[in-house]
Amino acid sequence: MTSEIAARYTRFAQVEAAGQSLIYERLALQVARSPRCLAFLSALPADRQQPNLLFAALRSVTGDIPCDDRLDRAIHEQGDDIAAVMLCRTTQTNEPGRCAVLLPVLAQITGPIALIEVGASAGLCLLPDYYGYDWEGYQLPPSQQIGVRAPVMICNASPGTPLPRAHPEIIWRAGLDLNPLDVNCEADVRWLEHLIWPEHQSRLDRLRAAIAVARKAPPSIVAGDLTQDLPALIAKAPSEATVVVFHTAVVTYVADQGQRDAFAEMMLNSGAIWISNEGTRVFPQFADRAGPVRDNMFLLTQNGHPLAWTGPHGQAIEWLPENR
């Protein structure tokens, strides 16, 4: 059991954190080598052992990022409090920067859109038409209609990416989440901030700017399970709109591959446009069609068809040649 957890943290360090966060790369490797940390994690349910969840809980409880000998000391002295946070919270990283890789797909949909996000967290990714974008100098200014300064999402786009000239027309939007977060709740906002990796100040800045937008234009988010409650939400969308269901780094937390595949089958038969932006292990049947696997990137698909490789935080999009 502990060897599997150690392998998970080593992979996180080498694949996900490498080149993105030196602090988390070192911290993950330290966890992988620490018998105390591994024993602590093994006592938690399997779905509560993720690196991002542990690191955010450490920051929440200690107010710090305890490295070196301070890590074992924090687990020894404050382990109960850290475990309590990990049991009641989840890794709901509401990264609005991912809208920069979703917009090239959304903008190609003609007519009004009814937008539904699965795993919506606080709903920040449900507001792509309010944000501004900068794809290496190709810019789309933010909306001016809500009276606050909306963030500008910066994204490195490959040649051939269909960059939009205008925001999509979204006339209705709703989110589904097991535990919706509230942008007007200080504790929820602090948790979202703790989920931002420590060196990523620009991500923290745009999170705060996106929260200001969401407070002015709050999307509707309902509590529910993606495997059971999505059809009822789809049924509420206005008939004159094209229903678009999307998710980013959400289905990866559905542990059972059979449930993932059943969700994919449900979406393909739903009549909605389905946009998935997930790690390659989530839907291997789609990743197999995208060429060599990119372990450090997500695969963006529409109705199961691979479109592009994307940076996990929306920092890059590499459109697949066959889609140009």
pLDDT tens readout for residues 227-244: 899 999 999 999 999 999
Give the confidence band of 292 by pLDDT, cuts at 50, 70, 90. confident
**What is the pLDDT, as a whole number, of residue 294?**
85
Regarding whether 150 and 26 lie in a shared domain, the answer is: no
Using a 10 angstrom Cβ sphere, with 0-12 exposed, 13-18 middle and 19 or more buried, the burial of residue 23 is middle
- Answer whether residue 323 shows pLDDT above 80: no
Return the closest-CA partner of residue 155 out of 308, 315, 319, 300: 315
Residues 301 and 173 in one domain: yes
Picking from 88, 115, 139, the residue at the C-terminal end of a domain is: 88
Per-residue confidence (pLDDT) for residue 293, from 0 to 100: 84
Mean pLDDT of the chain: 94
Residues 160 and 279 in one domain: yes
69, 88, 107 - which closes a domain: 88
Residues 147 and 243 both lie in one domain: yes
Distances (CA, A) of 213 to 19, 66, 122, 216, 301: 30, 33, 12, 5, 27
Q: What DSSP line would sit under 286-317, residue for residue?
A: HHGGGSS--TTSEEEEETTEEEEEE-TTSSEE
Residues 157, 290 within the same domain: yes
Query: Edge-to-edge strands of the sheet including 138-140?
Result: 138-140, 132-135, 152-154
Grade residue 207 by pLDDT with cuts at 50, 70 and 90.
very high
In this structure, of 79-83, 116-120, 278-282, the range with the lowest mean pLDDT score is: 278-282
pLDDT, residue 148, reads 86
Which pLDDT belongs to residue 322? 74
Q: For residue 21, name the pLDDT band (cuts at 50, 70, 90).
A: very high
Q: In terms of domains, do 46 and 121 share one?
A: no
In the chain, what percentage of residues exceed pLDDT 90? 85
Tell me, what's the pLDDT at 89? 95
Q: What percent of the chain has pLDDT over 70?
A: 99
DSSP state at residue 282: T
One domain for residues 32 and 130: no
Boundaries of domain holding 115: 96-323
**pLDDT, position 324:** 56
Q: Are residues 119 and 178 in the same domain?
A: yes
| Beta strands 316-319 and 156-157, pairing class | parallel
Average pLDDT over residues 308-321: 94
Query: What's the whole-number mean pLDDT along residues 189-216?
Result: 95
- Beta strands, E only, 178-231: 220-223
Looking up residue 127, the CATH number of its domain turns out to be: 3.40.50
Instruction: Determine the pLDDT at residue 296.
Output: 85
The count of structural domains within the chain is 2
Question: Which residues in 110-140 are b (16+ Cβ under 10 Å) and which e?
Answer: eeebbbbbbbbbbbbbbbbbbbbbbbeeeeb
CA distance 14 to 4: 15
Range 105-121 average pLDDT: 95
Task: Classify strands 242-248 and 113-118 as parallel, antiparallel or unpaired.
Answer: parallel
pLDDT of 137 reads 87
Please report the pLDDT score of residue 1 as a whole number.
78
| pLDDT at residue 10 in the model | 97
Mean pLDDT of 304-317: 95
* Sign (positive or negative) of CA dihedral 221, 224, 228, 229: negative
Domain identity same for 168 and 311: yes
Within 13 Å of residue 29, how many CA atoms lie on the same side as its CB?
A: 12
Same domain, 74 and 155: no
